[in-house]
Amino acid sequence: METVAKGTNLIAVIDNFDLSYDEFGEGNTPIIFLHGYPFSKAMWQGQLEFLKSKHRVIACDIRGFGRSKDEESTLSIDLFADDLIAFMDKLTIEKAVICGLSMGGFIALDALKKFPNRFEALILCDTQCIADTDEVKAKRYKIIDEITFSGVTEFNEGFVKSVFHKDSLATKSDIVERLRNVVFSNSQRIITMGLTALAGRTETCSILSKITIPTLIICGREDAVTPLEQSESIHATIKGSVLKVIDKAGHVSNLEQPDEFNKYVLDFLTVL
C-alpha cells in the first residue's frame, strides 16, 4: 500500500498548476479546510494542530493564493470548486468533510451543488449563499480600478482591519500581523482576480433546502463582512443544521477565538 505523505507545503499537480496543501493525522474521511479571500491555508494552522491527533486534516491553498501560484488563469468560484474535486481525485479521497470560511464557504457550496455525493458533512464559517447585488459588484469593480491605478496597499490594509473584531485589533496584534503578511504575500493580479471571482459567483441559496448531510454553521457575532443574519438564514434553510455564534469575533472567528471554534468543530466531528 502506498504511503501517504504528511506535512506542510505538499504539492498535488492539478491540471495546469501545482496545488499546495498541508496534511496531518489519520482517518477514513478527511476534513478539508478552504480559506477565505485573500488568505491562504496558513489561516487554518491552529485547527490542523488541534484536530490532527484524532482526524485526518488537510488545508489547501486555493488556486492563485498562497503557494498555489497561478498568474495565468481567469479565476472563478466554479473553477475553485472543480479544483477541489480534482484535488480529491488526485488524493483518491472519495468523500470528505468540507470546511470553508467566507470564500471557502462559497466554494464548498458550489462544489456541493455540482458534486453532492462527494461530501460527508459540511462546515460553513463566516460565509453566505447570496450572489453579489449589482451595487456590490459595481463596488468591487471600482476597487479593482483603484488597485490598478494606485496599487494594493490601501485596499489590503483596509481589508485586514475589516475582518477583525475591534478587541482583536487592540489586543491580538500578533494574529493581525500574521494575517496581514498573508494578504500582502498575494500578487496584485491575484488580489484583483479574486475580487472578480467573488463578483462573478452565482447564488447557492436555492440548494440549501436540498442539503441532507450534517451541517455546522459558525459565525462571529460581529462579522462585518458576512453578517450574522446570513448565517442565520442558512441555518433556517438547511434542515437539522447547527448554528454556533462566537462572541468577540468578526469575520475570522477561527483566528480570533480558536479555542471556542475548535471545540465546536470537534464536537460536530465526534457525532458524525
How confident is the model over 198-245, as pLDDT tens digits?
Answer: 999 999 999 999 999 999 999 999 999 999 999 999 999 999 999 999
How far is it, in rounded angstroms, from Cα 185 to Cα 171? 24
pLDDT at 149: 97
DSSP 121: E
Whether 2 shows a pLDDT value over 50: the answer reads no
In 3-state terms, what secondary structure has residue 81? Answer: helix
pLDDT at 44: 98
In the chain, where are the structural domains located? 7-270
Give per-residue pLDDT as tens, 41-53.
999 999 999 999 9
Question: What are 108's three cell numbers?
Answer: 464548498
DSSP codes, 119-184: EEEEEEES---PPPPHHHHHHHHHHHHHHHHH-SHHHHHHHHHHHS-HHHHHH-HHHHHHHHHHHH
How far is it, in rounded angstroms, from Cα 137 to Cα 194? 13
How far is it, in rounded angstroms, from Cα 176 to Cα 154? 16
Annotate 190-228 with b (16+ C-beta within 10 A) or e (fewer): bbbbbbebbbbbeebeebbeebebbbbbbbbebbebbbe
> Prior bond to 30 cis, omega within 30?
no
Annotate 105-131 with b (16+ C-beta within 10 A) or e (fewer): bbbbbbbbbeeeebbbbbbbbbbbbeb
Give per-residue pLDDT as tens, 64-123.
999 999 999 999 999 999 999 999 999 999 999 999 999 999 999 999 999 999 999 999
DSSP 126: S
pLDDT at 5: 75
Give per-residue pLDDT as tens, 119-140.
999 999 999 999 999 999 999 9
Query: Which residues on adjacent β-strands are paired with residue 119?
Result: 96
Residue 272 pLDDT grade (very low, low, confident, very high; cuts 50, 70, 90): very high
Taking each helix axis as running N to C, give the angle between helix 188-199 and helix 134-150, from 0 to 180 degrees, rounded to the nearest 10.
170
Whether 17 shows a pLDDT value over 60: the answer reads yes
Architecture in CATH for domain 7-270: 3-Layer(aba) Sandwich (3.40)
Task: Name the average pLDDT for the chain.
Answer: 97
Q: Strand pairing of 96-101 and 119-125?
A: parallel
pLDDT at 16: 87
pLDDT at 233: 98
Residue 3 pLDDT grade (very low, low, confident, very high; cuts 50, 70, 90): low
DSSP 12: E
